[in-house]
Structure 1
Amino acid sequence: MSSSEVTEAAGATAEVDTSAAGSVRVEHVTHRYGRGGEEFTAVGPVDLSVPAGEFLVLVGASGCGKSTLLRLIAGFERPTRGAVRVSGAEPRPGEAAGVVFQTPRLFPWRTVRGNIDLALRYAGVSRAQWPERRAELLARVGLEGTERRRVWEISGGQQQRVAIARALAAENPLLLLDEPFAALDALTRERLQEDVRRVTRRTGRTAVFVTHSADEAVFLGSRIVVLTKSPGTVALDLPIPLPRDDVDAEELRGSREFAELRAQVSHAVKAAAAA
């Protein structure tokens, strides 16, 4: 891709209904850390619109501001300049979105059931509905029959599935995932990619996913945004025209179209990091 094509793609911001449940609007956002001579700009300026139901992947080199941007969308931090809106309102931590981190952050003294039930309680689900909702959530992530096991009795991949189920408990229309599979082996990672792809498609939730991997980005995303090196700005905004329904994961990964898109994203990441 030529530099002019990258620039043109970077300037493309979709017009969306910013009040729709699950939609995200990042408007003229810049975020800085530190004070005085120690101040540095982590992100920005960034303009980004995410329509409800889209699976957006943020990809870029380490330190480009991907996770910072995700925290701003989650409401964990407020931008130094600009505004972030989720479903038309300023995001509030724990309410704007379900969040999955790089490590599961489960309560190790609780069972799988206990971790899910705690999420349901905080989500305001009545106790009478917990058994049905818990079973539904565990089925969505392929963990039927594990509810009585302790966290330390299940694998790292299963722990991350519990974290995903917990994030889905509140039925927020937005799901944020910050490199959730980075510490897992390749096989487990691919299986969980397929799980997340299936779950978000079936629930219709908007998703914003952070990764370093061009392969992961192309497999998961309906759209990919590549960020420049710090301070992170949009270098490439690329729709992914691959099928998302009734598709065999191995066939998709082995297709010529997948390989071409992966190469395009990989090139854009390297170019953005070197610029």
Structure 2
Amino acid sequence: MSSSETTTAAARTTAGQGGAVRIEDVVHRYGRGRETVTAVGPVDLTVPAGEFVVLVGASGCGKSTLLRLIAGFEQPTHGSVRVSGAAPHPGSSAGVVFQTPRLFPWRTVRGNIDLALRYAGVDRVRWPEHRERLLARVGLEGTEKRRTWEISGGQQQRVAIARALAAERPLLLLDEPFAALDALTRERLQEDVRLVAAQTGRTTVFVTHSAEEAVFLGSRIVVLTKGPGTVALDLPIDLPRGDVDAEELRTSREFAELRARVAHAVKSAAAD
């Protein structure tokens, strides 16, 4: 077995030991008294370890709120959220990628990755090895010495993904990470994330409002109703995963049928 195959196998083993998400009777509200707004719930949802779940719905349906609850950034008003059997803890339960990269502009690409490795507790002598592997995984070989403002928006988001993968948490959360990118860059990064998830076996929860993005990425799609968000559709996606021809997949009849079904469900859920 090659070194890359060994790394992939080890990552899969690590991911398989945790990352499962259990959401039980969760309701989340903002404000107090007459100003209270229910953003989510009630929601019951189980994400088994290794699954790629996409939360999709119209703006304001609570999908980003649900992701923040899974990350541990917020606590539910009612019910419980568990990651690998325990309450989520920000920074340690999951790697998180936001809509904007949130990189440190005064640091190089290498500096941003190294900072993530330091917070992940990786031994300093192993940083070069880990950094090289992470940058190769997101297609950024040779960019180590460049400042973040010297690279494109798509490359910055790749750095953000590499940084989220640095800690090797079994759970990866992504909140509309490609929304601000052009169509071509978005498609390329979709392919990267899909491949990374297949190679590492990490449990992944991805937020989007796009039916096409949801079908391309997910092994399962959860459509949320308009706020307060509840589950309107929970749909397994039976499409090939791993190293597949992305263009062939996107133009297949099965893909088109699933995209139409999800788009109809999102539209119906937003109208109810």
Q: Same fold (TM over 0.5)?
A: yes
TM tier relative to shorter chain: over 0.9
- 1:94 match: 91
TM-score by length of 1: 0.93
| Alignment partner of 1:152 out of 149, 152, 161 | 149
Kept in 1: contact 2:53–2:219 (CA 8 A)? yes
* Runs of 4+ more than 2 Å apart: none
> Structure 1 residues 21 and 81 mapped into 2: Cα distance closer, same or farther (>3 Å)?
same
1:199 maps to 2:196: yes
Cα shift at 1:122: 0.2
Cα deviations by residue, 1:68-101 (Å, 9 ceiling, x for unpaired): 0000000000000000000000000001100000
CA distance in 2, matches of 1:179, 1:111: 24
Range that drifts further, 242-251 or 113-122:
242-251
Kept in 2: contact 1:20–1:88 (CA 8 A)? no
1:43 maps to 2:40: yes
Aligned residues: CA RMSD? 0.8
CA distance in 1, matches of 2:157, 2:26: 31
Amino acid at match of 1:193: Q
1:109 maps to 2:75: no
Amino acid at match of 2:227: S
- 1:64 match: 61
CA distance in 2, matches of 1:129, 1:204: 23
Amino acid at match of 2:223: V
- 2:125 match: 128
Cα deviations by residue, 1:103-134 (Å, 9 ceiling, x for unpaired): 00000000000000000000000100000000
| Alignment partner of 1:163 out of 160, 165, 177 | 160
Cα shift at 1:20: 5.0
Cα deviations by residue, 1:140-172 (Å, 9 ceiling, x for unpaired): 000000000000000000000000000000000
SS in 2 for 1:41: strand
- 1:25 match: 22
1:229 maps to 2:226: yes
| Alignment partner of 1:249 out of 227, 246, 253 | 246
CA distance in 2, matches of 1:232, 1:226: 9
CA distance in 2, matches of 1:46, 1:256: 32
Cα shift at 1:247: 1.5
- 1:142 match: 139
CA distance in 2, matches of 1:93, 1:177: 14
Task: Point out where structure 1 has 5 or more consecutive residues left out of the alignment.
Answer: 1-18
Amino acid at match of 2:101: P
CA distance in 1, matches of 2:130, 2:243: 26
CA distance in 2, matches of 1:78, 1:123: 23
CA distance in 1, matches of 2:215, 2:181: 19
Aligned length: 257
CA distance in 2, matches of 1:247, 1:71: 31
CA distance in 2, matches of 1:257, 1:186: 22
CA distance in 2, matches of 1:216, 1:227: 15
CA distance in 2, matches of 1:195, 1:266: 23
SS in 2 for 1:271: helix
Amino acid at match of 2:130: R
